[in-house]
């Protein structure tokens, strides 16, 4: 199933299980759906099964959201206590859409507890009290931790599940009547041999041919490329590598301590889920990884770099990324919000030492290269998670492996085939529904949620009506479609920063889209007039400089104006020029760059 079709199904209000291989666009699809809902005045509850995954999506853990905390069982007294908590009651009563990310790591009894709490507070016997539930995840990722040795006190339990490990065995999973949307496109890996290898692991069909590819990527410890992060299965190995290399660097460590505010229980949960440590030790030359998304500043979670120096005035580290960009890294916040107010918050530099990281904490990351030691893998799927972090086989460096590294849980493999079949049937059925009927279903759900029904052309939802890639399009057509998505957002009045955030791109990339559209005469000055608000005087001054020099090149303008305006500001002003100068312009080069890039 392609992303646009799964998004259209989500808009109907159906309960959905959104799944697919790593890099298939699950997070992108959810972000599109969240943007669609918010544009209509509906605020979804965004949660995740673990603190780490919650920080990735800007939400809270499902345990905090539902009020179950660390409970592993729920008796009638617990249910009454939670359902009388005014914070939990208000939160659940106003929720129309509940998103749970990384659902594969959720124990089955936990989902049933959430179902019971929602139904009790909503006073509805329907699944999850009538809330639309969107479960997101891939069961080939790491499974939930199973605790053993717990005494049997089932007589006092309100929620009682038969022994099971996976959340799809939950009674609540069956009650929800989930529509399975299995995304089949791939956006992370672009190496056919590597994709075949990963696919073989998912099918439990890993053989000698695949092992040959693995063996070709084996290296000795001394041959590991400098700066590439190392993935280990155990924390002790990660700490040993990071601490040892840092200690061998010259000079004293700079220490950055995390600050927090709000209730201890919420702040502690944020700390556990944050990839940046409470106490961060850095030195010049330290390999680091960004732990938060900030496209405006040029980094996302997983961006790699090294400490070049510390700013003389602020003391903050300056990181040179792999792409050559220098970034002064300032503290950022991780927060839990409720009713638009921050209930708890932690603040730390969005960095961690990157010589080594655990496989568990690497989930959700996309890496250009990584060194992995899979010789101590102990869990089904652990090796698959590690391998699928990198984009291509050439970026994989293996120190060792064991037999378990290329195995997935046989039950999950069988269940995955069932999910694929269900998704294919859904896609066939949905494709037969008339477009106006689908639109009516979308509008009915918005009405039920109390949202505003507005034309599709006014919001970014139009962007999601097409897949990001199709097999039969050439590069030019794909590029133009991506630029048109940007254009639709700009025409709706969004700023470049807002478009970059919604599309998961940098502001520079969005500007390249606009430059390409301008070169094709598909972008008018009126389309981008709102980008000049508050900067009219500056734009006029830049325009005069362009006219005086008779050029479209940015460097002469930058020099003429004494560096008073950033290159991005100059690019925006150039887009607003009514006169396009001869072909010394750099617009065409922006067009070529955008066309060639896999956006």
The pLDDT tens digits for 105-143 are 888 889 999 999 999 999 988 999 999 999 998 888 766
Q: How confident is the model at residue 493 (pLDDT cuts 50, 70, 90)?
A: confident
Task: Output the pLDDT for position 59.
Answer: 65
CA dist 384 and 169 (Å) reads: 23
Between 571 and 279, where is the model more confident?
Answer: 279
Q: Is the pLDDT of residue 572 over 80?
A: yes
DSSP state of 363: T
Instruction: Tell me the mean pLDDT in the region 231-246.
Output: 86
Q: Is the pLDDT of residue 456 over 70?
A: no
Task: Specify whether the CB–CB gap between 115 and 177 falls below 8 A.
Answer: no
Between 13 and 360, where is the model more confident?
Answer: 13
Q: How confident is the model at residue 579 (pLDDT cuts 50, 70, 90)?
A: very low
Of 282, 317, 286, 288, nearest to 302 (Cα)? 288
Contacts of 244 (CB under 8 A, 6+ apart): none
SS3 463: helix
Mean pLDDT lowest among 179-183, 193-197, 255-259, 477-481: 477-481
Domains of the chain plus CATH, in order, are 3-144+155-183 (3.40.50.300), 226-368 (no CATH), 474-596 (1.10.10)
Task: Specify whether the CB–CB gap between 365 and 169 falls below 8 A.
Answer: no
SS3 19: strand
Task: Output the pLDDT for position 310.
Answer: 94
Mean pLDDT lowest among 72-76, 122-126, 236-240, 434-438: 72-76
Instruction: Tell me the mean pLDDT in the region 326-354.
Output: 83
Mean pLDDT lowest among 450-464, 483-497, 515-529: 450-464
Between 164 and 588, where is the model more confident?
Answer: 164
Instruction: Tell me the mean pLDDT in the region 245-266.
Output: 90
Widest Cα–Cα separation across the chain: 85
Task: Output the pLDDT for position 142.
Answer: 66
Q: How confident is the model at residue 220 (pLDDT cuts 50, 70, 90)?
A: confident
Between 157 and 529, where is the model more confident?
Answer: 529
Task: Output the pLDDT for position 56.
Answer: 55
Instruction: Tell me the mean pLDDT in the region 260-268.
Output: 86
Q: Is the pLDDT of residue 467 over 70?
A: no
The dihedral built from the CA positions of residue 67, 72, 74 and 77, taken in this order, carries a sign that is negative
571 membership: H or E segment, kind and range: helix 567-575
Q: Is the pLDDT of residue 586 over 80?
A: no
Q: Is the pLDDT of residue 597 over 60?
A: no
Q: How confident is the model at residue 584 (pLDDT cuts 50, 70, 90)?
A: very low
Alpha-carbon separation of residue 103 from 91, 135, 137, 321, 407 (angstroms): 21, 6, 5, 33, 20
Q: Is the pLDDT of residue 152 over 90?
A: no
CA dist 501 and 32 (Å) reads: 11
Q: Is the pLDDT of residue 302 over 50?
A: yes
Instruction: Tell me the mean pLDDT in the region 273-277.
Output: 84
CA dist 133 and 184 (Å) reads: 22
Instruction: Tell me the mean pLDDT in the region 242-255.
Output: 91
CA dist 160 and 257 (Å) reads: 43
Instruction: Tell me the mean pLDDT in the region 546-567.
Output: 81
Instruction: Tell me the mean pLDDT in the region 228-250.
Output: 87
Contacts of 296 (CB under 8 A, 6+ apart): 497, 500, 506, 507
Q: Count other Cβ atoms within 10 Å, centred on residue 94.
A: 11
Task: Output the pLDDT for position 120.
Answer: 93
Instruction: Tell me the mean pLDDT in the region 477-504.
Output: 75
User: pLDDT above 70 covers what percent of the chain?
Assistant: 83
If you average pLDDT over every residue of the chain, what do you get?
A: 80
Task: Output the pLDDT for position 97.
Answer: 95
Task: Output the pLDDT for position 547.
Answer: 85
Between 121 and 502, where is the model more confident?
Answer: 121
Q: How confident is the model at residue 358 (pLDDT cuts 50, 70, 90)?
A: confident
pLDDT in tens, 44-92: 998 887 665 555 555 677 888 888 877 778 788 888 888 888 888 998 9
DSSP state of 318: E
Between strands 97-101 and 341-348, the pairing is: unpaired
Of 94, 98, 124, nearest to 111 (Cα)? 98
pTM listed for this prediction:
0.59
Task: Output the pLDDT for position 221.
Answer: 79
Q: Is the pLDDT of residue 390 over 90?
A: no
Between strands 304-310 and 287-290, the pairing is: antiparallel
Instruction: Tell me the mean pLDDT in the region 381-397.
Output: 85
Task: Output the pLDDT for position 162.
Answer: 43
CA dist 398 and 238 (Å) reads: 16
Radius of gyration of the chain (CA): 25
Instruction: Tell me the mean pLDDT in the region 352-359.
Output: 84
């Amino acid at each position: 199933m392609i992303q646009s079709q799964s998004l259209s199904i989500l808009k109907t209000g159906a309960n959905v299980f959104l799944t697919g291989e790593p890099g298939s666009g699950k997070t992108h699809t959810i972000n599109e759906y969240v943007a669609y809902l918010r544009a209509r005045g509906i605020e979804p509850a965004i949660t995740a099964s673990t603190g780490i995954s919650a920080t990735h999506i800007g939400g809270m853990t499902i345990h905090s959201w539902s009020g179950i905390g660390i409970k592993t069982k729920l008796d009638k007294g617990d249910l009454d206590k939670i359902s009388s908590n005014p914070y939990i009651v208000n939160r659940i009563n106003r929720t129309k859409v509940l998103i749970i990310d990384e659902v594969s790591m959720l124990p089955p009894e936990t989902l049933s507890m959430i179902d019971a709490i929602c139904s009790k507070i909503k006073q509805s016997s329907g699944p999850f009290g009538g809330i639309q539930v969107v479960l997101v995840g891939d069961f080939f990722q790491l499974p939930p931790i199973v605790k053993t040795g717990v005494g049997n006190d089932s007589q006092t339990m309100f929620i009682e599940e038969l022994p099971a490990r996976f959340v799809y065995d939950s009674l609540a999973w069956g009650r929800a009547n989930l529509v399975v949307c299995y995304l089949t496109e791939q956006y992370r890996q672009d190496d056919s041999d590597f994709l075949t290898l990963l696919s073989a692991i998912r099918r439990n069909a890993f053989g000698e041919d695949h092992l040959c590819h693995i063996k070709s990527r084996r290296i000795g410890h001394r041959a590991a490329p400098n700066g590439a992060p190392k993935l280990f299965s155990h924390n002790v190995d990660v700490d040993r590598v990071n601490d040892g290399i840092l200690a061998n660097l010259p000079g004293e460590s700079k220490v950055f301590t995390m600050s927090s505010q709000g209730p201890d229980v919420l702040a502690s949960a944020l700390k556990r889920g944050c990839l940046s440590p409470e106490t961060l030790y850095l030195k010049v030359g330290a390999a680091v990884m960004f732990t938060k998304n900030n496209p405006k500043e040029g980094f996302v979670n997983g961006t790699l770099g090294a400490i070049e120096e510390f700013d003389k005035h602020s003391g903050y580290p300056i990181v040179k990324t792999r792409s050559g960009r220098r970034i002064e890294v300032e503290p950022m916040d991780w927060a839990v919000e409720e009713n638009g107010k921050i209930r708890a918050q932690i603040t730390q530099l969005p960095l961690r030492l990157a010589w080594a990281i655990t496989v568990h904490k690497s989930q959700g990351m996309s890496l250009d290269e990584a060194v992995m030691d899979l010789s101590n893998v102990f869990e089904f799927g652990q090796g698959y998670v590690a391998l699928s972090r990198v984009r291509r086989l050439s970026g994989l460096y293996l120190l060792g492996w064991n037999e378990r590294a290329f195995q997935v849980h046989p039950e999950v493999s069988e269940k995955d085939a069932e999910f694929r079949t269900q998704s294919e049937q859904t896609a066939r059925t949905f494709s037969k529904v008339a477009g106006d009927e689908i639109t009516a279903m979308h509008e009915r759900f918005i009405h039920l949620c109390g949202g505003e029904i507005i034309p599709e052309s006014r919001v970014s939802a139009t962007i999601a009506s097409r897949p990001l890639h199709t097999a039969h399009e050439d590069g030019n057509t794909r590029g133009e479609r991506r630029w048109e998505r940007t254009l639709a957002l700009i025409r709706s009045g969004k700023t470049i920063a807002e478009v970059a955030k919604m599309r998961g791109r940098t502001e520079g990339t969005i500007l390249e889209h606009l430059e390409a559209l301008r070169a094709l005469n598909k972008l008018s000055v009126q389309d981008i007039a709102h980008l000049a608000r508050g900067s009219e005087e500056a734009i006029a001054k830049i325009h005069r400089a362009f006219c005086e020099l008779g050029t479209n090149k940015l460097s002469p303008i930058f020099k003429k104006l004494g560096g008073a305006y950033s290159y991005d500001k100059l690019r925006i002003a150039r887009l607003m020029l009514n006169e396009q100068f001869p072909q010394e312009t750099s617009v065409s080069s922006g067009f070529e760059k955008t066309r060639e890039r896999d956006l």
